[in-house]
Amino acid sequence: MTHELKNIFKEFQKANNAKIRCVLATVVDLEGSSYRKPGVRMLIREDDKMIGAVSGGCVEKEILFQTQSVFQNNTAKLMNYDGRYRLGCEGILYVLLEPFSPSNDLLFKFQKTIKNRKSFELQTSYQKEFGKLEGYGTFVLLDSETFAFNSSTKKQPDALHFEQTMQPCKRLLLIGGEHDVVQLSHFGLSMGWEVTVAVTPKENKSLADFPGIETLLNYEPENFPIKHIDSNTAVILMTHSYVKDLKYLMVLKNTQPIYLGLLGPAKRREKLLATLIEEDMDIALDFLERIHGPAGLNIGAETPQEIAISILSEILTVIRKTNPMMLKDIGQKIYD
């Protein structure tokens, strides 16, 4: 959800520059099941443009309608949406609508927090009283400083509170510069991940070769800056060069990514790992066991696009600690 809030702040700044007011919608509670969970947010501009979504598309029109009174009164309100007879998911959503006008100081600190890949806290106050909730809304804690999403929001000690810890955006680090990297970066970006591509100087690649990414690293494998890899980074080694892969593995052995994938067949992987052990007899067994190679799930993928979906699917199963299977075979509730 961090990437969605990141986009909301970005879109607010565009609206603010155009002198267009905004309202933030936050799902603060849920009875039954729903397409999205509490904590999901969307931005509504006064010109009726909506950024983000809190459902599969069923609730947004009602939110747009309910938001009009918030623009008129500049006061937060709670609305609910009973989807038991209208939605595929049988639940009742409780949505807080609040004026969204973060200060310049908050905008600066938020961007700094995102850039430095730090976690932060959100607390939204509400009551299950439909209609105006004056002074209710969201506070954000950034580096021990507390900011309100709008100046009229006050602390509400007796209210209900929805609290969230927001982790840094997931990062996808793709090591390699071939066509399949372009496809994988495209799908990673569409998931809201921050995508970084690493190549060697001799490959003569630029940002333009990987549309949408913000960072391109140009280093020889042995000089690769491992500071770019943290516990929210998934790494895919896809250079198509045995020698390069081996050199990168020698550097990556000192990292703890959330996922480490290796492109290529199992026979190639075994040869790489055997050589790696010969080069470094003290290499940690845990590091070797964490390497997913061949990267991806067996979904019958053939094209570069399908292979990208296969790899990203495996990354999600590793991160979420799930066993992939068809939803129809689960035999229990999918969404709480």
pLDDT in tens, 209-239: 999 998 999 999 999 999 889 999 999 999 9
pLDDT at 57 over 70: no
**Dist CA 207 CA 317 (whole Å):** 30
Question: Mean pLDDT in the chain?
Answer: 90
Give the angle subtended at the CA of 42 by the CAs of 36 and 45, to the nearest 5°.
Answer: 155
Domain 171-320, CATH among 2.60.130.10, 3.30.450.150, 3.40.50.720, 3.30.565.10: 3.40.50.720
Mean pLDDT on 14-37: 87
pTM of the model as a whole: 0.82
- 10 Å Cβ neighbour count for 320? 7
Q: For residues 118 and 99, what is the distance between their CA atoms, to the nearest angstrom?
A: 26
What pLDDT shows up at residue 323?
Answer: 87
Helix/strand/coil percent split, the chain, to 5: 35, 25, 40
26-to-19, 101, 287 alpha-carbon distances in Å: 23, 15, 40
Which position has the token pair 């609508």?
Answer: 97
> Is 185 within 8 Å of 197 (Cβ atoms)?
yes
* pLDDT for position 54: 80
Tell me the two tokens of residue 159.
């209210």
Describe the crossing of helices 266-279 and 242-252 by its angle, rounded to 10 degrees: 50
Separation between Cα atoms, residue 183 and residue 335, nearest integer Å:
30
Inter-CA distances, 226 with 118, 229, 255, Å: 17, 6, 7
Q: Which two tokens stand for residue 217?
A: 């690293």
Give me the residue spans of the domains in the chain. Answer: 10-166, 171-320
